[in-house]
Amino acid sequence: MTRATVLQEVRQMRFEALHARRQRRDLTMAEAAEMLGVTERTFRRWSTRYEAEGIEGLEDRRLGRASARAVPVDEALQMVTLYETCYTGWTVKHFHERWQAEHGGQRSYTWTKNRLQTAGHVVRAPRRGAHRKKRPRKPLPGMMLHQDGSTHEWVPGCQWDLIVTLDDATSEMYSAFFVEEEGTQSSFRGLREVIEAQGLFSSLYTDRGSHYWYTEDAGGKVDKTRLTQVHRALQQVGITLIAAYSPEARGRSERAFRTLQDRLPKELALAGITDMAAANQYLTTHFISAYNRRFAVPAAETGTAFIPWVGTSLTEILCVQEERVVAKDNTVRYQGLSLQIPSDPHRFHYVKVTVRVHAYPDGTLAVFHGPRCLARYHADGRLIEPEAAARRRKDVSPRSRGQAIVGSRATVRANCSTRG
C-alpha cells in the first residue's frame, strides 16, 4: 500500500466523521472545512460526491492515472538494458555522462540514478559524516603541484603503477603514465613532462616515499639534510619539496585517484586495451584531456606562477647522480660495470679524482668532472664514441695529424717573430 493510498483512507474517515456532525448541525460547513484543512468550496464538492456515490466518490481520481510528463516505459527499459549489457559496474555519474555523450540520452542524472536503483543495479550510498575543513586551493596555477602514484589492477591481470602530476589550484592533470614500479625515474619523467610543457613551478607536494625523502623510521619525520635524487634535482632547479604526513593532507591527489581507479579501468576495457604501451598512448591522446574538461576547475586568480625553463639541459639534472673515485687503471666502478675513461687532451689521467656518474632513464651513463662530460656509455658499459671525434679519427691519419701540429707551431713562431 502506497503512502498516497494511506493518506486517502485517513482523509475519507475524517471526512465521514465531520460530514455526520455537519448533518447533525453540530458544525457549520466553514468549521468542518477548516478542521479538515480544505476550503469551504472543496468540502461542499466532496459532500455532493459523497451523497451521490458514497465513500467511493471521495477517492482521488488522479491515483492510477499516468502523468503526462512520465517517461515512456520503453525508454527506461532501454536505458537499463544498455547499462546491463555494456556498463555494468560503472558509477551512475560516469554512466550518465557516457549515455548522454555516446547514446543520445536526454534524461537527468537523478532520473537515471532512481531507475538504476529501482532495477537493483546501483546501491544507495550511505550518508556521509561531517568532513573536516579543507585546505584552501592555491590561487594560481604553478604555485603547488601534487605528484603521487597508485598501484591498481588497471587492466585485468596487470598490477601497474599510475604516476600522476596535477595542479593544486585547478586539479588539472599535467602528466599521467603507467610504469611497472614507482620510483626515482618515474618521478623524473613526470617532472620533465611538466617542466617542458608548462615551465618551472614553485613547489611539489608529495608523500614520504623513499624516492622523495629520507626518514629515520617508517612513518616518521623526514630528514631534510639528506637529499634523495629527486630532492637534489628539485633544489637544483629551484623547486621546493613539501612532505605530507597523512593521506588526508593529500586530499586532492587521493580524490583524483579514487576517480581514476573507478573510471580508467572501465575506459581501457571499453577501448579493448590490454598492454602498457597502448594504455599510455590512450592516456596521452584521449583520457587526460577528457579528464581535465570534466574535473578541472578555474583558478581563484587570473595569471600563472609557471615560468619558462631557460637553463641547461634537463637531461643532466633529472637523472641519478652519484660520486665515484677513479681507480688506478683510469676506470670508474658503477653498478657492477667498469667504465673506462678515454684519453683526454686536457690531462693524461684522472686517477684518484672524484667524478660524477649520471644514470639516465634509458639506461645510458655518463661520467662528469665538474661541468665537463668526460665520456658517455651504453647500458652495458661500452663507450659511446662522440661523432665528431669518430669523424676526426677516420678522416685524419696519424702522420697528417703530426704535420698539422708542426704546421701550427711554425705559424705561432712566425707570428711571434713578426710581433717582435
Q: Give the C-alpha separation, 4 to 200, whole Å.
A: 64
Q: 350: buried, middle or exposed (CB in 10 Å: 19+, 13-18, 0-12)?
A: buried
Note the pLDDT of residue 233: 94
The answer to whether residues 330 and 350 touch, using CB atoms and an 8 Å cutoff, is yes
8-11: list long-range contacts, CB under 8 Å, 24+ apart.
8/58, 8/59, 8/60, 8/63, 11/36, 11/58
Residue 374, SS3 per DSSP: strand
Residue 248 CB contacts under 8 Å (≥ 6 apart), including other chains: 132, 254
How far CA 386 is from CA of 342, 372, 375, 376, in Å, comes to: 11, 14, 8, 8
Q: Give the C-alpha separation, 144 to 133, whole Å.
A: 19
Residue 161 CB contacts under 8 Å (≥ 6 apart), including other chains: 149, 150, 151, 178, 179, 180, 181, 182, 186
How far CA 65 is from CA of 24, 49, 59, 75, in Å, comes to: 36, 20, 13, 19
Q: 319: buried, middle or exposed (CB in 10 Å: 19+, 13-18, 0-12)?
A: buried
Residue 247, SS3 per DSSP: coil
Mind giving me the DSSP string for 10-24?
HHHHHHHHHHHHHHT
Q: How many helices (H) and strands (E) does the chain have?
A: 13, 14
Note the pLDDT of residue 388: 35
Q: Give the C-alpha separation, 54 to 46, whole Å.
A: 10
Architecture in CATH of 145-295: 2-Layer Sandwich (3.30)
Which run of H or E residues covers position 259?
A: helix 251-270
Torsion, Cα 222 199 260 153, to 10 degrees, reads -70
Residues of the chain falling short of pLDDT 50: 388-420
Residue (of 164, 171, 134, 173) closest to 300 by Cα position: 171
Residue 74: beta bridge partners?
none
191-199: list long-range contacts, CB under 8 Å, 24+ apart.
191/147, 191/165, 191/230, 191/233, 191/234, 191/318, 192/314, 192/318, 193/165, 194/145, 194/165, 195/237, 195/309, 195/314, 196/309, 196/314, 198/142, 198/174, 198/306, 199/142, 199/306, 199/307, 199/308, 199/309
34-38: list long-range contacts, CB under 8 Å, 24+ apart.
36/11
How far CA 100 is from CA of 105, 107, 259, in Å, comes to: 4, 8, 19
Give the strands of the sheet with 203-206, arranged side by side.
Answer: 173-179, 158-167, 145-155, 203-206, 240-243
Q: CA gyration radius for the chain?
A: 38
Which run of H or E residues covers position 178?
A: strand 173-179
Domain extents in the chain: 3-58, 73-118, 145-295, 319-384
Q: Give the C-alpha separation, 194 to 208, whole Å.
A: 21
Q: Give the C-alpha separation, 96 to 164, whole Å.
A: 26
Residue 331: beta bridge partners?
340
Note the pLDDT of residue 348: 84
